[in-house]
């Protein structure tokens, strides 16, 4: 054989795809090598949280890392979002992997050595900021996943998009943001995304476990705002005015009857919660106005419509009956987080390979909401949960997300990297 023929044969041998088992083993080894770095990233991001649409420092850290891997990098997507594109060694499908980047206006009380002391502006006030929902873990996991997959890019038959999204917790009032804005700005195009994966860490499961649910996994959510107009008077002469505080209190009580008396909870869960009640400036003045704000969670579109109408009916009826006027605003919110059945069925064996069959659990429906659902309205998507509760902590002592005490066991980070890496590779290699 001529020397040139030998050289060509050698090139074909080098380019030949490795077996699935060998590639999975390589992914696991690369993920394990990321242990120190992924923990360092997580702690750095945790110590420097940023509010929705303000994730400038986090975005800069992500973009710099993706560029160092030789990826095509887009910044400023949906304000502060970052997208990295990794093109494999052979043509094929495109899979997207998403991590959310924003923190919350919460005062951290974990006592961690790397606890946040950051502040930000929220609704016109300076507030403490904390990664109380675990997004610091999500960003670190996806950064490490990018490192792992970049090492095997020649073995990838297709493209991976790494989507680092701002404002999952909701854009500030009056602004746009989050998944919906990323979609409008083209995150699922050029190249067209065929499927998308996302994960969320929490203490609902111990470290080393994963949870999923096909079809409706997390609730649809909408914010409502109620504005009550009364008539101001002296607190010593309440009969001379119309007290919007009392009107608001009656509305709060009446709203509790929607789920308890008006909704068939055997059909699907539902929640109506008032989280804010603001009125008045002084103890002896009946104020002119009061405002209520809250959240609606549903899994069924018809039930959602009925609850929205019931809220409007109650507010109008109570206010009119007490001599006040009131308006209701209900935002579009986010749809149900709906896991594509076919994609879920194909993805569960991947999770079982990473976590072990006994550690992959069919989850109950969750009344929390996720704007990952917007991606799932456009392309098949699979959203799953990873356990972050230390094995020494009993389930009944689990700390919920959004608590000032929330923390996640860092032992969940490398398995999360393995899960996202395996899911991407398995999807691209699947016919």
List active site positions.
Answer: 102, 168
CA end-to-end span of the chain, whole Å?
36
Phi, psi of 70, deg, nearest 5: 85, 20
Phi, psi of 358, deg, nearest 5: -70, -15
Q: Any idea how long the chain is?
A: 431
SS3 state of residue 108: coil
Q: Print burial letters for 396-429: b (CB count within 10 Å at least 16), e (below 16).
A: eebbebebeebbbbbbbbbbbbbbbbbbbbbbbb
SS3 state of residue 144: helix
Helices (H), 368-412: 373-378
Residue 419: which of 99, 40, 47, 132 has the closest Cα?
99
The C-alpha atoms of residue 205 and residue 363 are separated, in whole angstroms, by 10
Phi, psi of 196, deg, nearest 5: -140, 145
| DSSP β-bridge partners for residue 193 | none
Tell me what percent of the chain is helix, strand and coil, each rounded to the nearest 5.
40, 30, 30
The C-alpha atoms of residue 142 and residue 44 are separated, in whole angstroms, by 15
């Amino acid at each position: 054989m001529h020397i040139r023929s030998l050289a060509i044969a050698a090139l074909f041998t080098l380019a030949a795809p490795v077996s699935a088992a060998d590639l999975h083993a390589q992914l696991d080894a690369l993920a394990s090598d990321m242990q120190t770095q992924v923990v360092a990233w997580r702690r750095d991001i945790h110590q420097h949280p940023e509010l929705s649409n303000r994730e400038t420092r986090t975005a800069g850290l992500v973009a710099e890392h993706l560029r160092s891997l030789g990826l095509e990098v887009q910044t400023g997507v949906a304000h502060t979002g970052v997208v990295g594109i990794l093109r494999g060694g052979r043509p094929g499908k495109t899979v997207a992997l998403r991590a959310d980047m924003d923190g919350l206006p919460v005062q951290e009380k974990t006592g961690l050595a790397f606890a946040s002391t950051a502040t930000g502006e929220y609704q016109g006030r300076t507030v403490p900021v904390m990664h109380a929902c675990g997004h610091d873990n999500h960003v670190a996991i996806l950064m490490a996943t990018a490192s792992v997959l970049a090492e095997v890019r020649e073995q990838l038959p297709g493209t991976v998009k790494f989507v680092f999204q701002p404002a999952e917790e909701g854009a500030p009032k009056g602004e746009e943001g989050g998944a919906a804005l990323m979609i409008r700005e083209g995150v699922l195009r050029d190249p067209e995304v065929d499927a998308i994966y996302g994960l969320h860490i929490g203490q609902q499961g111990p470290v080393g476990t994963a949870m999923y649910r096909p079809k409706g996994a997390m609730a649809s959510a909408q914010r409502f705002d109620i504005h009550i107009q009364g008539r101001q008077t002296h607190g010593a002469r309440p009969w001379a005015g119309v007290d919007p505080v009392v009107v608001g209190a009656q509305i709060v009580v009446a709203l509790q009857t929607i789920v308890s008396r008006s909704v068939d909870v055997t059909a699907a869960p539902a929640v109506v919660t008032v989280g804010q009640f603001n009125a008045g400036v002084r103890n002896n003045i009946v104020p002119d106005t009061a405002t209520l704000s809250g959240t609606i969670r549903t899994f069924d579109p018809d039930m959602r419509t009925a609850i929205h109408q019931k809220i409007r009916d109650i507010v109008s009826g109570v206010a009119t009956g007490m001599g006040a006027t009131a308006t209701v605003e209900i935002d579009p919110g986010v749809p149900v987080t709906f896991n594509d059945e076919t994609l879920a069925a194909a993805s569960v064996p991947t999770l079982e390979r990473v976590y072990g069959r006994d550690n992959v659990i069919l989850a109950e429906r969750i009344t929390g909401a996720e704007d990952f659902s917007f991606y799932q309205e456009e392309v098949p998507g699979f959203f799953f949960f990873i356990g972050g509760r230390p094995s020494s902590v009993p389930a009944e002592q689990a700390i919920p997300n959004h608590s000032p005490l929330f923390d996640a066991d860092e032992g969940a980070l490398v398995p999360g990297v393995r899960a996202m890496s395996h899911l991407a590779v398995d999807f691209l290699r699947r016919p």
